[in-house]
Amino acid sequence: MNDVATTETTAVAAPEATAAQAAPAPASGFDWAQHVNDPETLGYVQNKGWKGPGDVLGSYRNLEKLTGVPADKIVKLPTDDNAEAWNEVYTKLGRPESADKYTLPLPQGDDGAFAKEAAAWFHEAGLSNSQAAKVAEKWNEHMTKMLSSEAEVSGQKHQAEINSLKAEWGSNYEANATLVDRAASTFGLNEQQLGALKSALGPAGAMKMLHSIGSKIAVEDNGLIGHNQGSAFGAVTPEQAMAKIAANRSDRTFIERFTSSDPKMRGEARAEMDRLHRIAYPGA
């Protein structure tokens, strides 16, 4: 009986042993050397202990889980001043491909020349479009406030000089002012030229000089003082002058003239505001 059982057990087990012997041997490790030509990269892979592409993919997925950001979106900051490396960083952070791609806010009436120059600065500094737009917006606000404040101070200074001149000339002020207008008209001085003169001498100083000239003209013309054709100092009403002052303060082009680095242009703009304030507030 025992011999029969042993024989049967052996007969059943024999097929399994045969199948095990027929199974292929486990595949050997992935041969990175056949797929990676760069020795440095190959060394990196070996140091990491990656056995095959699956290990690499698993590492990549774990990195995304850890950072919450796709690996290709992670920015690695250069450790030196390598311009090319930093350009790659700026591009990933949203810098436009060129300076002319920025969309910058412009004040009303602005020709965009300054914004074009500023865009080149922003691009060199690596700013994104939104960052550059915010800087430009804050700059415009700052310049508007600064110019408004300067215009107000200039107007007050102008009025103080005129008040002092009125006190000096007393009851002769209006007649003397007529002579001033006559002299300006006779010599064909336009608003910009008068502005430059008043910027150099001050409003009171300019009026005194033109009054001196006007007095001589009046004598030579047999006293025809009343002829005031196209008066450069009195042709605008106080209401018109007030409206022009308000318009200038919101006019970007005028503001650029008012703060220009060119002394002549700046002087003309400030002289214009001086004249308008004197006309707008004659009794101040």
pLDDT in tens, 181-231: 878 877 788 878 877 888 788 888 888 888 887 776 544 443 333 333 334
Q: Write down the pTM of the prediction.
A: 0.43
- Read off the tokens for 188: 């064909």
Measure the CA–CA gap between 17 and 9, rounded to whole angstroms: 13
Alpha carbon distance 10, 7 (integer Å): 5
CB atoms < 10 A from the CB of 13, how many? 10
Most confident of the ranges 54-63, 215-224, 244-253: 244-253
Q: What is the pLDDT of residue 23?
A: 36
| Token digits of residue 47 | 């140091």
DSSP character at residue 258? H
Does the pLDDT value for residue 18 go beyond 80? no
Mean pLDDT of the chain: 76
Give every CB contact of residue 222 below 8 A, 6+ residues apart in sequence. Answer: none
Q: Report pLDDT digits (tens) over 94-119.
A: 899 899 999 999 888 888 899 999 99
Region 138-153: mean pLDDT is 88
User: In angstroms, rounded to a whole number, what is the distance separating the alpha carbons of residues 271 and 196?
Assistant: 7
Q: In Å, what is the CA distance from 15 to each residue of 3, 11, 25? A: 20, 8, 19
Residue 28 confidence (pLDDT) above 80: no
